[in-house]
Amino acid sequence: MRESIIRIREEIKAYNILDIESQEAFRLKFLSKKGIISNLFDQFKTVSPDEKRELGRELNQLKLLATEKYNSIKDNFSSFDKTSKQDDLTRPGYDLNLGSRHPISIIRSEIISIFEKIGFSVAEGPEIEDDDHVFTKLNFAPEHPARDMQDTFYIFRQSVEDSNPNDILLRTHTSSVQIRVMQSQKPPIRAIFPGRVFRNEAISARAHCIFHQVEGLYINEKVSFADLKQSLLFFAREMFGKNTDIRLRPSYFPFTEPSAEMDVRCRICEGKGCNICKHTGWLEILGCGMVHPNVLESCDIDSKKYTGFAFGMGIERLAMLKYQINDLRLYFENDIRFLKQFRSVL
């Protein structure tokens, strides 16, 4: 029996396995229930007691040799088969199912990127604010209509008669972050303030009770209205193209003086007039102006030494112009047909 074990050991070592078929033939010949090694174990039962210990050790080593060779070849062929199916360079490629970013996120990132080019940093603040930061320090009079319940979502208010400066509300603009920055930093200050704001307005194609703003603030010595105009012209042409036309119209805001509203030529109708631009050919995208001295003084900034400008724009309105979207409500409905259009936009 020892001679059979030696012969079979050499046969196992010399057995050449080239493919899956020869691998299976090896298993059947040496390791199956009717294979050679199984037959040797059957013969082992008839071996004399004096030889069993030595022959049993050799027989187990023989089976281990055949098993290890089979398993190593099996792993190699499994890996090769898997690789050949997955990494076949001649097979047709699969379509990449890319996700998409929301148009509000796309425009927000683009606005931030444009103003970062001219030195503006980014600051953010809380959406739940107090009256002092949203209205009082921004030079809103106590009887200003913006404080009324029809425009503002108040979370807590003691009474109509009690004009409590610590009323808690959902911020109606990100100008509250301007106040926080002016209170915590000394000029020069150059920052933008993106965020979500809330106003009690009827929802329509042109308005919503929730929307997104980006406001900006620059305070330093000798800042002029010309600096404001050139900054906004740079922004408009970076956002909409180098031939973009803008116009500034006189306006009024409690926190700026002088104040203006900036329009760009409507990209949806190319200036011909449509329901989005109210058939004027122009679309208002932001309000701006020189920071009111009262606002600077309320934040302990010397208004005789420092001047500054501020501006604020709605991200939804800019996205409407950029992508020619004619209904604000689409931004909030999560309609997959709408969102898929921005799949290739970074």
Q: What is the pLDDT of residue 11?
A: 84
Q: Which residues pair with 122 in a beta bridge?
A: 192
Give, rounded to a whole angstrom, the gap between the first and last alpha carbons of the chain.
75
Q: What is the pLDDT of residue 344?
A: 61
Three-state SS letters, 291-334: ECHHHHHHCCCCCCCCEEEEEEEEHHHHHHHHHCCCCHHHHHCC
Q: What is the pLDDT of residue 163?
A: 52
Angle at 285 between CA 283 and CA 291, to 5 degrees: 135
Measured CA to CA in angstroms, residue 51 lies from 1, 36, 60, 83, 253 at distances of 10, 20, 14, 48, 108
**CA 62 to CA 37: how far, in whole Å?**
8
Q: What is the pLDDT of residue 248?
A: 95
The residue ranges of every structural domain in the chain are 2-86, 103-342
Q: Is the pTM of this model over 0.85?
A: no
Can you name the CATH fold of 103-342?
Answer: BirA Bifunctional Protein; domain 2 (3.30.930)
- Report the run of H or E that residue 60 belongs to, with start and end: helix 49-86
The per-residue pLDDT for range 25-59, each reduced to its tens digit, is 888 888 888 888 888 878 877 778 777 788 788 88
- Closest by alpha carbon to 240, among 119, 325, 321, 314? 321
Q: What is the pLDDT of residue 267?
A: 73
Regions of the chain short of the pLDDT cut 50: 80, 83-84
**CA 227 to CA 141: how far, in whole Å?**
28
Q: What is the pLDDT of residue 157?
A: 57
Q: What is the pLDDT of residue 37?
A: 82
